[in-house]
Chain A
Amino acid sequence: MKNKFLKIAFGILLAAMPFSLSAEEMGIADPARDKYYSALEGKKVAYVPLAMGFDLTEGWYAGMKTALEPLGIEMILRDPNWSADAGSKAISSLISERPDVMVVHNPDVQTYAKLLRKAEKAGIHVVQVNMKSAFPTDAFVGADWIEIGELVTQKVVDQCGSGTSQKVAIVQGVLTAAASAYQLRGVSNILNKNPNINIVSNQAADWDSTKARAITETTLQQHPDLCGIVGFWDGMDIGTGAAVKEAGMADKVFLATSGGGGKTGCDNLQNDIFDVFVSYDVPGQARDLSNVIKGLLQADNKPGKAGKVSLFTQLQTLTKENMNSYTGAGACWTVESLASK
């Protein structure tokens, strides 16, 4: 009797064991897990864009916040509002505040170079985004501008083969900006291979859509048989496209441009303002930024001592026909959609 009773009691105990285990230790613990969270908890990431208020910088910020804040990382934003001088001051004061990582968007290749070196010496990891400085830091995340210039120009050249006028116009941004200067190199790489293309106008519109519009209007008056336009940035080329559309030449003139790939860019493809839009995928860049930051915070390397990493963005060549297939890959995004994830 007693023996049988014990057996039953033992049986119940055995049967209950998995339940008691499930409450405490089921599966296997990941020994690296705690290290990941503790390396990120309480860290500070400072962000110095050229200016807030436009799609690229708002998108990166929203994406980084969504990825990093839940991990206990504090985001610090300094908005110099297009002033390189205010940006330099912001970086100087950040150097004394000592955040763990600084994400910097350079106005040109020179202005911040010395400050970035100083920041790394002071023990701050520096990540550069989309516009490079002459001084390479721990990481660069952003578009390969030369590749963009080549892609956009190739698209235009493809449309302007023999049988067309082969006349092409270029609408540049600000001459001194890295994004404009590197792109121009990409443009000339392709043009050198296609000597039959005739560049009838090569003007800088200063990233300003109103100027782009006025320049394009005049160019179209001069060359009513213009075949294609190489644009340097979608925010400016809404003016270029408006001039083409107003002249009733949207079918004849092929306009290719590039940008962050947001919803307004897609709308402009839909409305036939742009024919091709090379997107540097801001949601993807935001993810690259967040991951590089996570990597830097976990590795034991001192700032500036590890190898310098470049993460060039995977570009998306959007057209009216194919853009819907890219929406799953982040194209046609809005700041709200990046923030609410």
Chain B
Amino acid sequence: MTFLKLRNQELIILVVTVTIFILFSVFLNNFFTTGNLLTLMRSVSILGILSIGMAVVVISKGIDLSLIATLAVGTAAASVLSSPDVMPAFQFPFIYAVILGLIFVVFFCCVTGVLVAYWDMASVFVTLAMAGVIYGSGRTLFIRDELNYLPKDAVWLEFLGRGQFIGIPMPIFCFLGVALLVHLLMTKSTFGKFVYSIGDSGLAARTAGVPVRPILVMIFVLAGIIAYFAGLLTAGAISSINTRMVAGSMIYDVLLVVVVGGIGLSGGKGGMHNVILGTLLIGTLLNGMVIMDISFIVQNLIKGIILLLAIMTDTLLNPRDEQTTQQGDI
């Protein structure tokens, strides 16, 4: 139903995606084949899941730059705590280690949430600092090596990460599943309505009696759990997790999906269909660029230009008004 109520921005993105898709299908050999389209979806499904987490935070007019740290450190913690090599004294069955990793993630996300909600700090700075705190404490406390292999009893996770069901890779189901769950949460539950109202205007929401602060904490915890799930899938796909990805550029790809998908940076707007749209656009582009064998530097240039264009469109379609001037952007 949401697709019937598309905003201008979404329409533009839909048109762009469809145009690129048709162009690639016509001009690139083997682009429009079932195998390649499944590969395309599969390769961006983890990025898509992460973007769902980021989208919820951005809708509440925040930003979470610690998502990759949460993903990598949480997953690496789970793999270390179940590995026979690293800490023999603390070797748990993998499923318990996953739960311990979850506790680690939730704890740090609560800290982030409390700092943003109760200390009234800007989320961009809190999460930037927390990314360092999460990575640092994880690496000091238990993750000795950057590259951590999954234990032998992680078979179920390897199925989720690289298995197939009726010929479709599992990560695609995981992406769509998470998108559906969060979609229901955001549209049908009180929590979702509160998130949109906070994004629209935190002050008005508070005046109307919305428990703004606890909801903010919950938003960061939700985003963290989603990132942790994305991390587990990453590990399942290659049987290992490398904490070095924290230093990489993945967080910008996540922002790219969210912004390109049309979730306004001024908060209160957009939904899961934006994330799916953004993911498809980026996935189509990445896939096409690899097929055309475009060099890494040019790929980054193209991605940068698209991000700029998306932000310009966002500014054009959602001009700064009285309200945003008063409350500022992210």
B234 contacts the other chain (CB 8 A) = yes
Taking a contact as CB atoms under 8 Å apart, the answer to whether B144 and A210 are in contact is no
Contacts of A239 in B (CB 8 A): 238
B242 contacts the other chain (CB 8 A) = yes
Partner-contacting stretch, out of A217-225, A249-257, A325-333 = A217-225
Taking a contact as CB atoms under 8 Å apart, the answer to whether A213 and B238 are in contact is yes
Taking a contact as CB atoms under 8 Å apart, the answer to whether A203 and B296 are in contact is yes
Contacts of B143 in A (CB 8 A): 53
Q: How far is the CA of A206 from the CA of B243 in the complex (A)?
A: 14
Q: How far is the CA of A305 from the CA of B287 in the complex (A)?
A: 53
Given contacts A53-B145, A209-B242, contact A221 B30 (CB under 8 A): yes
Taking a contact as CB atoms under 8 Å apart, the answer to whether A242 and B144 are in contact is no
State which of B33, B46, B248, B286 has its C-beta within 8 Å of the C-beta of A208: B248
Range for the number of chain A residues in contact with chain B: 20 to 34
State which of A53, A222, A264 has its C-beta within 8 Å of the C-beta of B29: A222
Taking a contact as CB atoms under 8 Å apart, the answer to whether A209 and B146 are in contact is no
Among B39, B139, B240, B297, find the residue whose CB has the most chain A CB atoms closer than 10 A: B39
B315 contacts the other chain (CB 8 A) = no
Taking a contact as CB atoms under 8 Å apart, the answer to whether B147 and A54 are in contact is yes
B252 to chain A, nearest CB (A): 13
Contacts of A201 in B (CB 8 A): 290, 293
Contacts of A54 in B (CB 8 A): 145-147, 244
B253 to chain A, nearest CB (A): 10
Taking a contact as CB atoms under 8 Å apart, the answer to whether A218 and B291 are in contact is yes
Among B46, B143, B234, B238, find the residue whose CB has the most chain A CB atoms closer than 10 A: B238
Given contacts A53-B146, A221-B39, contact A242 B238 (CB under 8 A): yes
Taking a contact as CB atoms under 8 Å apart, the answer to whether A175 and B242 are in contact is no
Contacts of A238 in B (CB 8 A): 238-240
Q: Nearest B residue to A82 by beta-carbon distance?
A: B247
B237 contacts the other chain (CB 8 A) = yes
B162 contacts the other chain (CB 8 A) = yes
- Near B by CB (< 8 A), chain A positions 185-244 give 200-204, 206-210, 213-215, 217-219, 221-222, 235, 238-239, 242
Q: How far is the CA of A264 from the CA of B46 in the complex (A)?
A: 25
- Near A by CB (< 8 A), chain B positions 142-160 give 143-147, 149
B222 to chain A, nearest CB (A): 24
B86 to chain A, nearest CB (A): 10
Binary interface encoding of chain A residues 30-63 relative to chain B, with 1 for a CB under 8 A from any of its CBs, else 0? 0000000000000000000001011100100000
A246 contacts the other chain (CB 8 A) = yes
Q: Nearest A residue to B294 by beta-carbon distance?
A: A203
Given contacts A242-B239, A264-B149, contact A175 B248 (CB under 8 A): no
Taking a contact as CB atoms under 8 Å apart, the answer to whether A204 and B36 are in contact is no
B31 to chain A, nearest CB (A): 9
Contacts of A203 in B (CB 8 A): 290, 293, 296
- Near A by CB (< 8 A), chain B positions 228-257 give 234, 237-240, 242-245, 247-248
Contacts of B243 in A (CB 8 A): 53
Q: Nearest A residue to B40 by beta-carbon distance?
A: A218
Contacts of A215 in B (CB 8 A): 290
Contacts of B145 in A (CB 8 A): 53-55, 58
A251 to chain B, nearest CB (A): 18
- Near B by CB (< 8 A), chain A positions 259-288 give 264
- Near A by CB (< 8 A), chain B positions 56-112 give none
Q: Nearest B residue to A201 by beta-carbon distance?
A: B293
B42 contacts the other chain (CB 8 A) = yes
Given contacts A53-B146, A54-B146, A264-B149, contact A209 B33 (CB under 8 A): no
Contacts of A222 in B (CB 8 A): 29-30, 36, 291
Taking a contact as CB atoms under 8 Å apart, the answer to whether B240 and A209 are in contact is yes
B17 contacts the other chain (CB 8 A) = no
Q: How far is the CA of A22 from the CA of B243 in the complex (A)?
A: 59
Among B286, B290, B293, find the residue whose CB has the most chain A CB atoms closer than 10 A: B290
Binary interface encoding of chain B residues 4-39 relative to chain A, with 1 for a CB under 8 A from any of its CBs, else 0? 000000000000000000000000011001011001
Contacts of A210 in B (CB 8 A): 46, 234, 237-238, 245
Taking a contact as CB atoms under 8 Å apart, the answer to whether B35 and A53 are in contact is no
Q: How far is the CA of A115 from the CA of B3 in the complex (A)?
A: 59
B313 contacts the other chain (CB 8 A) = no
Q: How far is the CA of A209 from the CA of B234 in the complex (A)?
A: 10
Q: Which residues of B contact A (CB under 8 A)?
A: 29-30, 33, 35-36, 39-40, 42-43, 46, 139, 143-147, 149, 162, 234, 237-240, 242-245, 247-248, 286-287, 290-291, 293, 295-297
Known: A221-B39, A238-B240. 17 other contacts (CB 8 A): A53-B143, A53-B145, A55-B145, A82-B244, A201-B290, A202-B293, A203-B290, A208-B242, A209-B238, A209-B240, A210-B46, A214-B286, A222-B29, A242-B238, A242-B239, A264-B147, A264-B149
Instruction: List the 10 closest pairs (A to B, CB-CB), nearest first.
Output: A204-B296, A214-B43, A53-B146, A221-B36, A218-B290, A242-B238, A54-B146, A217-B39, A221-B39, A239-B238
5 contacts between A and B (CB under 8 A): A53-B145, A201-B290, A214-B290, A221-B35, A235-B147
